[in-house]
């Protein structure tokens, strides 16, 4: 049985769409302040074959290790966010523009995994770390 219309909201609009549609969007937030130049936060949704968030996240790190030049894992841990057990990774690698520092949080929600990726070019500052921490503390997973 398919449920009826579902309300949906973005920054620009709100609307109702039939429940058989699935949100497959990617949300991209870019830093605009001077101390956030060359930063971004990207939210993606994936439907892996297995719902095991740790296995999926670790598989992604193995892919990155074999793909990204000068890849170096900085942190890998299970953590709580939004009331669920998540997987957290931090790593750096050499991009064409410089050293890219990335932090990822893998969050299982229903049958999908939502991945938040914060990226900073050439350095991660205390203000960046505080922004990541505030993001994690504000999460409400539905």
Share of the chain above pLDDT 70, in %: 97
Which of these ranges, 33-37, 42-46, 55-59, 70-74, has the smallest mean pLDDT?
A: 33-37
What tokens appear for 54 in the block?
């740790």
Whether 72 shows a pLDDT value over 80: the answer reads yes
What value does the mean pLDDT take over residues 15-41? 85
Q: Which of 127, 139, 112, 113 is nearest to 37 (CA)?
A: 127
Which of these CATH numbers, 3.40.710.10, 3.40.1000.10, 3.40.50.150, 1.20.1090.10, describes 23-138?
Answer: 3.40.1000.10
Whether 18 shows a pLDDT value over 90: the answer reads no
| CA separation for the pair 86, 103 (Å, rounded) | 13
For residues 103 and 89, is the Cβ–Cβ distance under 8 A? Answer: yes
DSSP string for 51-96: --HHHHHHHHHHHHHHHSTT-EEEEEEEEEETTEEEEEEEEEEEET
Share of the chain above pLDDT 90, in %: 63
Tell me the helices (H) and strands (E) count for the chain, helix number first.
Answer: 2, 8
Whether 103 shows a pLDDT value over 50: the answer reads yes
- Please give the model's pTM, rounded to 2 decimal places: 0.86
């Amino acid at each position: 049985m398919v449920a009826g219309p579902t309300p949906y909201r973005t920054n620009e609009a709100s609307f109702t769409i039939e429940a058989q549609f699935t949100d497959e969007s990617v949300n991209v937030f870019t830093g605009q302040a001077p101390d956030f130049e060359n930063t971004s936060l990207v939210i993606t949704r994936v439907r892996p074959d297995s719902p095991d968030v740790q296995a999926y996240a670790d598989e992604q790190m193995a892919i990155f290790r074999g793909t990204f030049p000068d890849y170096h894992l900085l942190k890998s841990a299970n953590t709580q966010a939004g009331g669920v057990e998540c997987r957290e990774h931090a790593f750096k690698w050499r991009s064409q523009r410089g050293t890219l520092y990335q932090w990822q949080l893998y969050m299982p929600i229903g049958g999908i995994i939502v991945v938040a990726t914060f990226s900073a070019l050439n350095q991660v500052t205390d203000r960046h770390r505080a922004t990541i921490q505030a993001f994690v503390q504000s999460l409400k997973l539905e």
